[in-house]
Structure 1
């Protein structure tokens, strides 16, 4: 009988699968997400935070462009410190970004702070119950916990289908997502 894999082991295995995807497969997946859009209505002025893709994450920018054309206002996260909530700053497609403290492109500190209604979230792995494995710093778990004290926020994970795993060993502080979108399907965890 084998031991249950740790989050670190599951993360490594899922990231290895993601690394094997070709540039063509990555682009096709990002475009498939954009073509499908979000699985719920977008109202004028809705604030949607995306992310700047790193480490071969699925690129949310084609989807974000579509959402902006539908009337959404966009934001990108800014990392402040481990164990602290992310800050979201206004972003328009094509804005010049600066490298943040973790080397991730972020809006200028002069960009207006915004409180998102919907957060598009990168991930290393996810399961069919809506749990995700990130990179281990807990930025999104802290952020969801903090911001949901102020208003309801829909969490939408974006991933390649290859990143789905059988089960995430979720802990009490892990915040499940409302949806995960892959190039192949929409996982809706709110109806279950």
Structure 2
């Protein structure tokens, strides 16, 4: 009998994780986003923090309340844009009310005229996560490439945003997978168990 590869296992987990996230979003979407914004007060913000979030897709935790909280505490804000299919994401300055342009994968990003910024705090959408900080995403590799590139220069904290119900016993890990430093859920900050 042949065991499924990590990629095959991840694909099966993605289907189940997507179902759980849809249910949780329908049940507690706005309340969870508000709770995560309150829990974000635990995040340290050194001077000069650039907090990069994401424009939420349907079902994803809405990170905008947390971004507003971080901006009120002095962080500059940024949103990602896809530079190329196999490249790391890049980030442009953003504030609520700024115009956005449509991107690939149903995303939105700041206009090309917005300045590029390097995040020091990166908020990451999550389909599923485990206690070691590994995350299950959509499988495009954008965040793994981005985390690897940003970590080469140092000074990055990566925080996943998820519903507590999205925690998995273990996420299958492939060599390029990047662990998160912490996860914020509606129940609070989840510390990552270092391997």
| Displacement after TM superposition at 1:20 (Å) | 1.5
| Displacement after TM superposition at 1:187 (Å) | 1.5
RMSD of aligned alpha carbons? 1.9
Q: In the alignment, which residue of structure 2 is the partner of 1:36?
A: 39
8 A Cα contact 2:32 2:61, kept in partner: yes
| Displacement after TM superposition at 1:38 (Å) | 4.5
* Long gaps (5+) in structure 1: none
Q: In the alignment, which residue of structure 1 is the partner of 2:190?
A: 187
**Normalized against structure 2, the TM-score is what?**
0.91
Report the 3-state secondary structure (helix = DSSP H, G, I; strand = E; otherwise coil) of the residue aligned with 2:105.
Answer: coil
CA distance in 1, matches of 2:27, 2:11: 28
Of Structure 1 and Structure 2, the greater helix share is in 2
Q: In the alignment, which residue of structure 2 is the partner of 1:112?
A: 115
| Displacement after TM superposition at 1:189 (Å) | 1.9
| Displacement after TM superposition at 1:22 (Å) | 5.1
Cα deviation digits, residues 87-124 of structure 1 (max 9, x gap): 10000122121101333110001100000001000011
| Displacement after TM superposition at 1:190 (Å) | 6.8
Is residue 62 of structure 1 aligned with residue 65 of structure 2? yes
Report the 3-state secondary structure (helix = DSSP H, G, I; strand = E; otherwise coil) of the residue aligned with 1:106.
Answer: strand
Candidates 160, 164, 168, aligned match of 2:167:
164
**Normalized against structure 1, the TM-score is what?**
0.93
- How many residues are aligned here? 191
CA distance in 2, matches of 1:161, 1:36: 13
| Displacement after TM superposition at 1:37 (Å) | 1.3
| Displacement after TM superposition at 1:19 (Å) | 1.1
Deviates further, 48-57 or 23-32: 23-32
Q: In the alignment, which residue of structure 1 is the partner of 2:179?
A: 176
Is residue 138 of structure 1 aligned with residue 146 of structure 2? no
Q: In the alignment, which residue of structure 1 is the partner of 2:94?
A: 91
Q: In the alignment, which residue of structure 2 is the partner of 1:6?
A: 9
Report the 3-state secondary structure (helix = DSSP H, G, I; strand = E; otherwise coil) of the residue aligned with 1:30.
Answer: helix
* Long gaps (5+) in structure 2: none
| Displacement after TM superposition at 1:151 (Å) | 2.5
CA distance in 1, matches of 2:36, 2:100: 23
